[in-house]
Structures are given as C-alpha cells and as structure tokens.
Amino acid sequence: MSAKVYFTSGITPEGVVAVYDALGVELPGKVAIKVHSGEVGNQNFIRPDFFKPMVDRINGTIVESNTGYPTGKRHSSRSHWQTMELHGWTSIAPVDILDEDGTIQLPVPDGVRIKNDIVGSHLANYDSILVLSHFKGHPMGGFGGAIKNIAIGLASSRGKLRIHSGGRVWRLLKPDQDAFLDALADAAKAVVTHFGTGMAFVNVMKAMSVDCDCVAKARPPEMGDIGILASLDPVALDQACVDLVYGADDPAKASLIERIEARHGVRTLEAAEALGVGKRQYELVRL
C-alpha cells in the first residue's frame, strides 16, 4: 500500500499542526522533537516561533547533535548551547544536546556502508520522536529533508564523520559520493528500527536554498515556497517533496533541481527504500 503524505499550501505555524493532526497519531511517552538549530550566520533556517505551536502541541523536548567539523558554532556542546540560545530554541521548550554526555551505537540491519550508527547517548531517554525538517538543497546530499534529519542530524560528531566518509574513516574528507548517500540511508534505517512506530515527520518547503541550514553563508533561495507536508513514512515524504520541486510551475526551480541531480540525491531514497526504511510510492492528500 502507498504511504499517505498530507499537504497544505498554507505555510504557517498552524499549518504545521494541521498536517501533523491529519496523521491521526499521538506519539507515546517522552517525545523528542528533532529540529535543525541553524548555523550561526545562516539566514534560511526555520525559526523557533514557526514551530512553537507544534512543540506546544506535543509538549516534547527539542533535540540536536553536535557537528563533525570544527568550523561553525555547533561543533562542541558548549558552542552548540550558545547557538541554541542565540537562535531562540531554549526560549520555546526544553533543549537536549544528545551527544553531550557520550554516545551509543544503534545497529543497522542489512547496512550497506555502516553496520551501526553512532548517536548521542541521550537518545535512549526518549520513547518517540517528531522530526521537523526544513526541505531544501544540500551541498553534499543534493537535498535535505526527513531522511537527512534522522541520519546525519541525529548522528553524534563521530557518527557524522563516519557517515560523511561512507563508513571508511574517522575524519572528514571528500568521500565517494554514492557511498555517502548509501551511508545516509543506513543511518536512517538504524533510527527507524530503534523507534519503530513511534515516529512522525513534517517537512516545510519554504526558503529553499540550494544550500543547507548548516552553511553559515548560504545562497539565497531562488524558487518560491510550496507548502508543508507530513507523513509516517520519511521516504515517501522526501519523495513527495522532490516531486513537488520538479512539478512546480516556477522557472527558478532549475537551480535546486541541478543541485539534486549533480549530487545524485535521489540515490538516498532508492537506498532507503531498498533497506525497508519506507516506500517511494505515496498518495498525496491535500488538506
């Protein structure tokens, strides 16, 4: 059966809540809310106020993990806390830097590039997770959405290096591109296996630069905003977003499409589907 992906063109805080409510689920127990904190200097990341009604609706804890590269203001827990405060995340909900006190390893069943995913030890404190993602381009992945947010996004500093290198080394270097994309899918498989049905995903398609929110000086968005989507299937959700980019009546979409294709971005969705993370076939339900 096709996964349902719910869509609204109303890009508002209330729209986030509406697409989540359309899923018809209540996440159990202690809920983590994964966001992207935004690199200091980045102008495109989704601001806390936009997500606040959704955060209040769930009454969860905002979670993030440290980066794997020494540049920027999110590499150490100390600087990451400063960034979370600067960007306003600590003002809307409790915040948890997942790898502040160490790491754990999640097995990757049938992993192609990695056999375990190194994540922050605090992840074990949560029963379920809501993944709030800003869909946009990415310098390495082609695009970033739900899969990237649970793969690279939840990996610890060391785990990020391992994924970026396609599972080969413990330092940041230019990896084999397809190996990196496969490792993204592997890491996503680990997280989906860990949480099972205790997951829900929302992608916001606005301010879609070809660059990630991790880029301090990202290129300005070129194509127009599209909407907000939600699903219980992260593969279907990201595939729907990619399809909406390609199908948009907007000549400015060319730059984002070029970024996706130049980085072989759809390979991550193909690899994730092959691992059983989700399905690329979906039914788009417009609210």
DSSP SS3 for 85: helix
Measured in whole angstroms, the distance separating CA 279 from the mean position of its chain's CA atoms is 17
- C-alpha dihedral (242, 243, 247, 250), degrees to nearest 10: -10
Beta bridge partners of 138: 142
- Find the domain containing 137 and state its range: 3-286
Could you tell me the pLDDT band of residue 262, with boundaries at 50, 70 and 90?
Answer: very high
CATH code for the domain in which residue 56 is found: 3.40.50
| Alpha-carbon span 45 to 216, nearest angstrom | 10
Give the pLDDT score at 103: 97
| Alpha-carbon span 279 to 287, nearest angstrom | 22
Count up the domains in the chain and report the number.
1
**pLDDT per residue over 187-234, tens digit each?**
999 999 999 999 999 999 999 999 999 999 999 999 999 999 999 999
Model confidence, pTM: 0.96
Instruction: Name the E strands within the chain.
Output: 3-8, 31-34, 61-64, 95-97, 103-107, 116-120, 128-134, 136-138, 142-144, 199-205, 227-231, 282-286
Q: Provide CB contacts within 8 A for 236, sequence distance 6+.
A: 2, 3, 5, 278, 279, 280, 281, 282
Tokens standing for residue 55: 């955060």
Give the pLDDT score at 183: 96
Among candidate residues 233, 44, 266, 70, the one with its CA nearest the CA of residue 150: 233
**pLDDT per residue over 93-118, tens digit each?**
999 999 999 999 999 999 999 999 99
| Alpha-carbon span 235 to 212, nearest angstrom | 19
Which phi and psi angles does 150 have, rounded to 5°?
A: -95, -15
